Amino acid sequence: MIELHGVAFITGGLGVHQVRAQCNTQSHLLITVILFQWQWLTSQPGIGKTTAYTLTKHGVRRLAIADINFSAAQEIAKDIESQFEGTQAIPLSLDVTNPNSIHEAITETVTRFGRIDYAINSAGVSGPSGVSHAFDIDAWHKTLDVNLHGVWMCSREEIQVMLKQEKMGDSPRSNRGVIVNLASVYGLVGSSRNLPVVAYPTSKHAVVGFTKSDAVMYAPQGIRINALCPGYVTTPMTDPIPLAITQKEEAKIPLGRMAFVEEIADAIAFLVSPMSSYMYESAMVVDGGFLA
Ligand SMILES: NC(=O)c1ccc[n+]([C@@H]2O[C@H](COP(=O)([O-])OP(=O)(O)OC[C@H]3O[C@@H](n4cnc5c(N)ncnc54)[C@H](O)[C@@H]3O)[C@@H](O)[C@H]2O)c1
């Protein structure tokens, strides 16, 4: 059992935002109904949501859940408070592409809880598939805006808060705060030929890059910063991948399956806990052997 007593700030909640946006633009009633049914049938928790529950199970009693999908954040916060007595979970509306929105969300968390000990930057998008010569330029910018600039801007604000706060405890293994940036195995290798993507791996390589630089710069001040590189995980992000492609990718995983979202949340709990107190600047791979 890992014991976590600090304040958590998590971006990226339920993960149905992209599907909902698609529903809103459909004018044909039948298609809209089918899309909503599809969303309901395939509704999986995302990494952020599962992490919120996992951290709470390990003792976190003050947490902020921030997402562009505010209603999802509200539902999760309410459910966590009802399941875990004495827990305060605040839902926050956050668009990670907007620096003011990030500043407001972080300020609200600090106003309410006084500090941020575990920051998990999980908001992200897959972006469209495609190869470079035919890739839409707007889609390129949108993917990098969320996955790279958004994660960096959140991390930037979180570091500002952590620099001002005292370490939690006197142990040499304690720190001033921990940040986990969600990268991907595609932050370490190029796209699969089965599912060509270009903006996504670019954004994730860059997340690994700035994470390592920040880890080096802020380790002396006691801020621990790492990236997590999951392989394929069963979440709303991977739901839309056609079955034939999923099967081809799963055949490349020695374990033979995608990760359960809880397996990624457990890795995040480890990365924010004192059990990983000597880990700085890692790009920790959790991939069922995919990269071997
Ligand atoms: N699912 C996978 O296979 C996998 C593998 C490796 C890495 N990852 C990474 O893990 C992270 C979480 O992915 P997931 O699988 O839980 O996906 P998800 O789609 O379930 O969750 C992503 C969340 O980000 C939110 N979001 C999107 N744009 C936003 C914005 N502008 N501002 C604030 N929130 C925004 C969405 O509303 C959603 O709740 C992402 O960074 C993803 O790239 C996922």
* Domain parsing of the chain, residue ranges: 7-286
**pLDDT score, position 38:** 42
Name the residue with the closest Cα to ligand 1, atom 39.
15
Q: Of ligand 1's atoms, which has the minimum distance to the CA of residue 236?
A: 20
Residue 252 Cα, ligand 1 centroid: separation in angstroms?
Answer: 23
- Predicted confidence at residue 43, as pLDDT, reads 63
Amino acid at 9: F
In this structure, CATH architecture of domain 7-286? 3-Layer(aba) Sandwich (3.40)
Q: Is 187 in the pocket of ligand 1 (CB under 6 A)?
A: no
pLDDT of residue 73: 96
Measuring from atom 42 of ligand 1, which residue has the nearest CA? 124
What is the predicted pLDDT for the residue at 29?
38
Q: What pLDDT score was predicted for residue 42?
A: 45
d(Cα 76, Cα 83) in Å, to the nearest integer?
Answer: 10
Per-residue pLDDT of the chain (292 residues; tens, 9 = 90+): 789 999 999 999 665 534 333 333 343 334 333 444 444 444 689 999 999 999 999 999 999 999 999 999 999 999 999 999 999 999 999 999 999 999 999 999 999 999 999 999 999 999 999 999 999 999 999 999 999 999 999 999 999 999 999 999 899 999 999 999 999 999 999 999 999 999 999 999 999 999 999 999 999 999 999 999 999 999 999 999 999 999 999 999 999 999 999 999 999 999 999 999 999 999 999 999 999 9
Ligand 1 centroid distance, CA of 273 (Å): 22
What's the pLDDT score for residue 32? Answer: 38
The answer, yes or no, to whether any atom of ligand 1 lies below 6 A from the CB of 91, is no
Q: What DSSP string runs through the chain?
A: -----SEEEEE--S--HHHHHHHHH---HHHHHHHHHHHHHH----HHHHHHHHHHHTT--EEEEEES-HHHHHHHHHHHHHHSTT-EEEEEE--TT-HHHHHHHHHHHHHHHS--SEEEE----------GGG--HHHHHHHHIIIIIIHHHHHHHHHHHHHHS--SSSSTT--SEEEEEE--GGGTS---TTS--SHHHHHHHHHHHHHHHHHHHHGGGTEEEEEEEE--B-STTTTTS-HHHHHHHHTTSTTSSPBPHHHHHHHHHHHHSGGGTT--S-EEEESTTTT-
Give the pLDDT of residue 44: 84
CA–CA gap between residue 70 and residue 266 (Å, rounded): 25
What is the pLDDT at residue 69?
95
Q: Mind telling me the catalytic residues?
A: 200, 204
